[in-house]
Amino acid sequence: MTSLVVLLTLPLVAALAVLALPERRREPLGLLTVAIGLVAALTLAASVWRSGPVLLTLGGWTPPLGIALRADGLAVALILMSALVMSAVALAARFEMRATRVGPRAAFGFWVLMALLWGALNAVYVSRDLFNLYVGIELLSLAAVALVALSGTAKALAAALRYMIFALVGSVLYLAGVVLTYAAHGVLDIGLLAARMPAESDALALGLMTAGLLAKTALFPFHVWLPTAHAAAPAPASALLSALVPKASFLILIRLWFEAMPDLASSAAVMMLAVLGSIAVIWGGVLALVQSRLKLIVAYSTVAQLGYLFLIFPLAGGGGSVQPWSAGAWTGAMFLALSHGLAKAAMFLAAGICIAAVGSDRLGDLRGLVRHLPMTVAALALAAITLAGLPPSGGFTAKYLLMTSALAAGQWPLALVLVGGGLLAAAYLYRPMAALFAREARIAPRPVPRIWQAVPLTLAASAILLGLFSATPFDLLQIGRPEPAEEGL
């Protein structure tokens, strides 16, 4: 329980401290924070592993009066993944977000916003209260929008404004749904809502909350803000935005559909979510294929990868008795969220190194970079293996679980989407690889410290390790897993 309180408060205390303390304390403080946070995440994971979900009633007031938090296997897996990504981003930011490099404004803003973002993520991962989740994603969205604006160019400001409009409309829709839920039942706690007497307005409430969260998760057709926003931010900020931020709103969707109101999941509704997800997989992949800048390819790939997550709705529980593992699709989607987080953060950090080396991320300017930055190119290649779902990566485990569920449930169109999405990913990731491995080199790149290069490589390698040693994270995800994940919606 102590480690949970540490994870909730440490990033917030750090953000306040960075704000109040002089500049020279900023970096050591940031690094100390991620170190403690990583230890706390491991401690919490060990505790959940040993003795099940960790509960915390804030202020000692139990719901419906107070707010309850619960760290289950899924929450703790996301906390751990976020702590890893945060640590990597902090290490990269030591080089990339120096005041001498990006100016005092961006250098100051980055550390504070990163800490706020982390605090908001941890708060959302464990919250069991619909309104508290609203406050959490508000903090998350505002910090994310500010991170997009960090680079200060007119393009970045326009992208940030567009992101903010989508995020705020999403917030209002979500809040309207929360208000309806509270008006009908007088409770906000997910556990209490699961045991509610159904009301006529529940479907509308769930619909509004879902629409709001889809805008924040950037599911097709609400994805239009994502690629420009993620590509406009400085690379360490892009890594946070792409790897972590959409996972929080997706997690709330999971909490709503699988835990609070599984009774409302009609087959038409779940199929509609999966169809939007399928379109996102294909459309994101096609658009990634035609981009000429590495960061935009990586950003469009996020649109596609987020699409896979929505296949969970019709597939969860699919043919549970047929498979050796029950709850295949549910666990598969969670594996995808985790491995995408690690791989995507690695890719953006690697793209940042490329930009530091050659001053551009146009594919034409990256030609032959493998001879100068072998570690960075290796990180990109390993991350690409995960994103394309090739063995033995975490992405492969995820796709395998989703695919077996799709086939067992007889949903062959969704299986085709999984195959097609993988082929598209291989195609759009081939282009930067081909450029990086090209024989001729255009320009002599600036040297990049090896420690900096090791950061994305470690992240990408951990995405592979997630596939190689998938039994432990698999079992962790089953702790406190909701019933409908196994039975199906």
Partner 1 sequence: MSLALDLALCALILGVSLAAVAGAGVFRAVIFFITYGLFVAIGWARLGAYDVALAEAAIGAGLTGVLLLTAQGRLRRVQADRTERPGAPLPAALAGGAVTLALAWAWFVLPVPEAPDVAQALPQSGAGNPVTAVLLNFRAWDTLLESIVLLAALLGVWMLARDADWDAPLGPRYHARPSGVLAYFGRVLPPIGLIFGVYLVWAGTETVGGAFQGGTVLAGVVLVAMMAQVLPPPRASKRLLRAALVLGPGVFLLSGLAAAALGGSFLSLSAALAKPAILIIEAALTVSIAVTLALLVIGPAEAPEPAP
212 is written with which tokens? 């709001």
We find the least distance from the C-beta atom of residue 400 to partner 1, in angstroms, to be 38
We find the least distance from the C-beta atom of residue 123 to partner 1, in angstroms, to be 6
We find the least distance from the C-beta atom of residue 136 to partner 1, in angstroms, to be 7
Of the pair 128, 295, the CB lying nearest partner 1 is at 128
We find the least distance from the C-beta atom of residue 113 to partner 1, in angstroms, to be 6
We find the least distance from the C-beta atom of residue 441 to partner 1, in angstroms, to be 32
Of the pair 104, 413, the CB lying nearest partner 1 is at 104
We find the least distance from the C-beta atom of residue 157 to partner 1, in angstroms, to be 7
Of the pair 133, 464, the CB lying nearest partner 1 is at 133
Whether residue 349 contacts residue 91, with contact meaning beta carbons closer than 8 Å, is answered with no
We find the least distance from the C-beta atom of residue 482 to partner 1, in angstroms, to be 23
Of the pair 139, 346, the CB lying nearest partner 1 is at 139
Whether residue 311 contacts residue 333, with contact meaning beta carbons closer than 8 Å, is answered with yes
Taking the CA atoms of 273, 275, 276 and 282 in sequence, report the sign of the dihedral they define. Answer: positive
We find the least distance from the C-beta atom of residue 277 to partner 1, in angstroms, to be 22
Of the pair 207, 368, the CB lying nearest partner 1 is at 207
Query: Within 13 Å, how many C-alpha atoms sit on residue 212's CB side?
Result: 25
Of the pair 19, 416, the CB lying nearest partner 1 is at 19
User: Three-state SS string across the chain, please?
Assistant: CHHHHHHHHHHHHHHHHHHHCCHHHHHHHHHHHHHHHHHHHHHHHHHHHHHCCEEEEHHHCCCCCCCEEEECHHHHHHHHHHHHHHHHHHHHHHHHCCHHHHHHHHHHHHHHHHHHHHHHHHHHHHECEHHHHHHHHHHHHHHHHHHHHCCCCHHHHHHHHHHHHHHHHHHHHHHHHHHHHHHHHCCCEHHHHHCCCCCCCHHHHHHHHHHHHHHHHCCCCCHHHHHHHHHHCCHHHHHHHHHCHHHHHHHHHHHHHHHHCHHHCCHHHHHHHHHHHHHHHHHHHHHHHCCCEHHHHHHHHHHHHHHHHCCHHHHCCCCCCCCCCCCHHHHHHHHHHHHHHHHHHHHHHHHHHHHHHHCCCEHHHHCCHHHCCHHHHHHHHHHHHHHHCCCCCHHHHHHHHHHHHHHHCCCHHHHHHHHHHHHHHHHHHHHHHHHHCCCCCCCCCCCCCHHHHHHHHHHHHHHHHHHHCCHHHHHHHHCCCCHHHHHCC
**In 3D, which of 69, 92, 72 has the Cα closest to residue 80?**
72
Of the pair 183, 451, the CB lying nearest partner 1 is at 183
Distance, CA of 251 to CA of 330 (rounded, Å): 12
Whether residue 316 contacts residue 258, with contact meaning beta carbons closer than 8 Å, is answered with yes
We find the least distance from the C-beta atom of residue 451 to partner 1, in angstroms, to be 27
Of the pair 6, 304, the CB lying nearest partner 1 is at 6
Of the pair 136, 389, the CB lying nearest partner 1 is at 136
We find the least distance from the C-beta atom of residue 393 to partner 1, in angstroms, to be 35
Distance, CA of 340 to CA of 22 (rounded, Å): 36
Query: Within 13 Å, how many C-alpha atoms sit on residue 403's CB side?
Result: 14
Query: Can you give the binding site for partner 1, defined by CB under 8 A?
Result: 2, 5, 8-9, 12-13, 15-16, 19-20, 56-61, 64-67, 103-106, 109, 112-113, 116, 119-120, 123, 131-132, 135-136, 138-139, 142-143, 145-146, 149-150, 152, 157, 173, 176, 180, 182-184, 186, 199-201, 204-205, 208
Of the pair 159, 398, the CB lying nearest partner 1 is at 159
We find the least distance from the C-beta atom of residue 105 to partner 1, in angstroms, to be 4
Of the pair 159, 406, the CB lying nearest partner 1 is at 159
Distance, CA of 338 to CA of 80 (rounded, Å): 9
Of the pair 98, 442, the CB lying nearest partner 1 is at 98
Of the pair 176, 271, the CB lying nearest partner 1 is at 176
We find the least distance from the C-beta atom of residue 59 to partner 1, in angstroms, to be 4
We find the least distance from the C-beta atom of residue 417 to partner 1, in angstroms, to be 28
